Chain A
Amino acid sequence: MTGWFARIGWRHLVGVLAVLFSLFPIVFVVAAALNPLGTLSSTDAVPTAFTIDNFANLFARTAFGHWYANSILIAGVASVVAVFLSMLAAFAFSRMRFAGRRVGLLSLLLIQMFPQFLAVVAIYLMFARIGDYWPGLSFSSPWGLILLYLGGALGVNTWMMKGFLDTVPRELDESASVDGASHVQVFFQIVLPLVRPILAITALLVFIGTVNEFLLANVFLYEPNSKTLAVGLYGLIAEGVSRDQNFGMFCAGSLLTAVPTVVVFRFLQRFIVSGLTAGAVKG
């Protein structure tokens, strides 16, 4: 029995405890979403009454369907492109030695640290000008926002991927180079397949981050049908709106927001666990 615990049992224990910790506030949200009164503090941890009105109202009274589609479009495109861009950069940072490499890495980090609430004004002025020339790339359009998000693509992701690439033995691509493969072939045919798990995870992280992004999206998207989930849901409980009235709908919306993420995770799961093909790596 102790043997079982040492091998498997402790894993279940950690898993169960962590799941409890993870779910405990979410149960609260579920309860509020199913509660006909749907207020924040009248809700106890256990649902006392049951209704799906909050879900129905969400679709009937708001542009929830649009928000959902916009979020998936924006987050989907942004995550795929961002992962590709940062993978390219990470490959350079990890495999090549060039002047300004470390300064570049450090600057990547530092630029992320500037408070965005200040830069919003400059970003707004910039996109106001962009909108004068190319109306499709400005406010209330998903494409302008996607461009803006791609500005942050290198940021944290490059660091993460670079760290990861550093653990992939260099002999692999070096031997391929010796065999006459070009750097492009090394990148696409050797390195990319090797780092599939981290590509999948980065894509998931960017996806989640983009779905949750609020500050810039709120400034960008005015048209009710152009909003994303984060902006639209926030509007339900913003100042000037009776928060208690909409809290049930808000919780219902929050739960539905988690659905695409879980689906994406489910989809990426096989890449995440597939990992390195054991034979390709020398021990």
Chain B
Amino acid sequence: MFGLVAKILLLGLVAALAVWAAFPLIEAHAWVGLAVEAAVSALVFYAYLTPRRLPLKYLLPGTLFLVAFQVVPVFLTMSTAFSNFGDGHRGTKQDAITAIQTASVVEVPGSPEYALKVVTKGDNAIAFLLTDPAGKQFLGDAQGLKPVAGVPDGYTPLNLGEAGARSQEITKLAVPTAGGAIRSSGISRAYEGRAQRTYQAGCDCVVEAGTGHRWTAHDGSFVDAAGQRLPQGWRINVGLRNFTQVATDSRIARPFFRTLAWNLVFAVASVLTTFALGMLCALALHTDRLRGRTLYRMLLVLPYAMPSFAMLLVWRDMFNADFGLINRLFGLSVDWLGTPWSARLAVILVQLWLGYPYMFLVTTGALQAIPRQMTEAAQIDGATPWQAFRRVTLPLLLVALAPLLISSFAFNFNNFNAIYLTTEGGPFPADDPTAGATDLLITYTYRLAFGAAGARYGFAAAVSIYIFAIVALISAISFRRTRRQEEVYA
């Protein structure tokens, strides 16, 4: 009975939420959004009202969030791999044209500077009351200028706050004149300007007034005869171009396998070292007879509790060759971050420090689940503690933790911050500033995508899809192996 009431309340809550969420959508005529919302609500009701579909009832809540906030963004991003999306190509063609025209407005030579008052008649359209340097006044609106003296009857000036509320009208208003148009500059000054470049639909090109210079639309940009393009471009579909570029680009192919190999080493080493140390600590503290166990545990977790970016910076400083704490403390003179292998060792050490508390916590939890009778039974049977660990504890731990180790591998394979905040991929060979000794595929991609003249999201997405494919393959293979394990213990 209690269950039924809870169910009614929860579903009612869902329905109320759905209705609440629907109102703004209806108001905005967002019918697609509304349809999606209705479909999701229907799915929820179906899942919890049908007596069948047991797994669905358990999977649905998390999956809804997952799909909405992870799967959808990832797919949207992946779809940019087929476009030239990036800096200079973010918006639509119309946006680019507007930007080009706005950017080309110059003051008409010899034209006066006007003092401006924004005025309005009743609640109607706004107009400009303009005063030129000689003190002559004009009223300007979309029709043109006419001379006036003072604020004309029926018009009231707007103060800045009121003007702010009608900002868009003020920006849009251009009072036509013989030489161009008078536009506002803020709300207290106006000037007579003229757009030097205009878009002409007939030739699909931008033409410059006076010179007649023209830039024709081509490949997401306006390009002139000499091949010079205007900076403002727009987003277009480029098909598989990004993918073929990745595959044929020698900059990517050259260091690819070396980077991949190190990437694998880094991920495996991070997982194994953190797991080994974390497990050792968990085992050591896994007894009731140890005094100060709680204190030990709390201190061990501290590295994980500190903001990791702060600690990465601190570690970078500690590895400094001349001033770093490590060299000073141990009397060394190792150029830690300056040579490839020492830098690799350093980043793994930092990873160990950052990551082992995590493994420690997880192993601690898993150890609680292993019935103590089992290890005790093994010891009674004459096994040494080491044998008991090898034969009983470790296999059981691995059942619980194997999936976690795989996902931890996946996380470290893409551990951007671990590299970016410490070595930035360095040290780099003198003859190749593009791929460094500690670069992971992801930091390498990041530099490719964002180091050039503006970000290239489309290209970066294409590289990511390749990396994704590799990781998926590796994970799928290792996952197949866990199937056997699962079958053994399940």
Tell me whether A8 and B289 are in contact (CB under 8 A). yes
B77 partner, pick from A21, A121, A251, beta carbons under 8 A = A121
Tell me whether A151 and B65 are in contact (CB under 8 A). yes
Give chain B's interface secondary structure class. helix
Tell me whether A25 and B361 are in contact (CB under 8 A). no
Q: How far is the CB of B263 from chain A (nearest CB, A)?
A: 12
Tell me whether B73 and A283 are in contact (CB under 8 A). no
1/0 per residue A233-250: CB within 8 Å of B? Answer: 110010000000000001
- Known interface pairs A113-B414, A159-B406; A26-B318 also in contact (CB < 8 Å): no
Tell me whether B308 and A160 are in contact (CB under 8 A). no
Tell me whether B294 and A269 are in contact (CB under 8 A). yes
Q: How far is the CB of A190 from chain B (nearest CB, A)?
A: 15
Q: How far is the CB of A54 from chain B (nearest CB, A)?
A: 14
How far, in whole Å, are A118 and B467 apart by their CA atoms in the complex?
A: 13
Interface residues of A in 8-48 (CB under 8 A from B): 8, 10-12, 14-15, 18-19, 21-23, 25-26, 28-29, 40-41, 44-45
- Known interface pairs A151-B68, A182-B3; A257-B73 also in contact (CB < 8 Å): no
Interface residues of A in 150-204 (CB under 8 A from B): 150-156, 158-160, 162-164, 166-168, 170, 182-185, 187, 195, 197-198, 200-201, 204
Q: How extensive is the interface on chain B, given as a class?
A: 35 or more
How far, in whole Å, are A154 and B65 apart by their CA atoms in the complex?
A: 9
Whether A230 sits at the interface, judged by CB under 8 Å, is yes
B314 partner, pick from A29, A132, A168, A197, beta carbons under 8 A = A29
A163 partner, pick from B54, B287, B403, B414, beta carbons under 8 A = B403
- Known interface pairs A12-B290, A123-B69, A278-B372; A28-B365 also in contact (CB < 8 Å): no
Tell me whether B369 and A167 are in contact (CB under 8 A). yes
Q: How far is the CB of A13 from chain B (nearest CB, A)?
A: 8
Give chain A's interface secondary structure class. helix
1/0 per residue A247-283: CB within 8 Å of B? Answer: 0001100110110011001100100111110100101
Whether A58 sits at the interface, judged by CB under 8 Å, is no
Q: List 15 other contacts, CB 8 Å, given A132-B28, A262-B301.
A: A18-B280, A22-B303, A40-B317, A106-B479, A113-B413, A122-B73, A152-B69, A153-B66, A160-B407, A163-B402, A164-B366, A201-B362, A265-B297, A266-B298, A276-B369
A positions within 8 Å CB-CB of B:
6-8, 10-12, 14-15, 18-19, 21-23, 25-26, 28-29, 40-41, 44-45, 85-86, 88-89, 91-92, 96, 98, 101-102, 104-106, 108-115, 117-119, 121-123, 125-126, 132-134, 147-148, 150-156, 158-160, 162-164, 166-168, 170, 182-185, 187, 195, 197-198, 200-201, 204-205, 208, 211-212, 214, 229-230, 233-234, 237, 250-251, 254-255, 257-258, 261-262, 265-266, 269, 272-276, 278, 281, 283
8 interchain residue pairs of minimum CB distance: A151-B69, A275-B368, A261-B305, A92-B58, A85-B62, A14-B284, A133-B24, A122-B76
B positions within 8 Å CB-CB of A:
3, 21, 24-25, 28, 30, 33, 54-55, 58-59, 61-63, 65-66, 68-74, 76-78, 277, 280-281, 284-285, 287, 289-290, 292, 294, 296-311, 313-315, 317-318, 320, 323, 325, 329, 353, 357-358, 361-362, 364-366, 368-374, 377, 385, 396, 399-404, 406-408, 410-411, 413-414, 416, 442, 445-446, 449, 457, 460-461, 464, 468, 471-472, 475-476, 479, 483, 486, 489-490
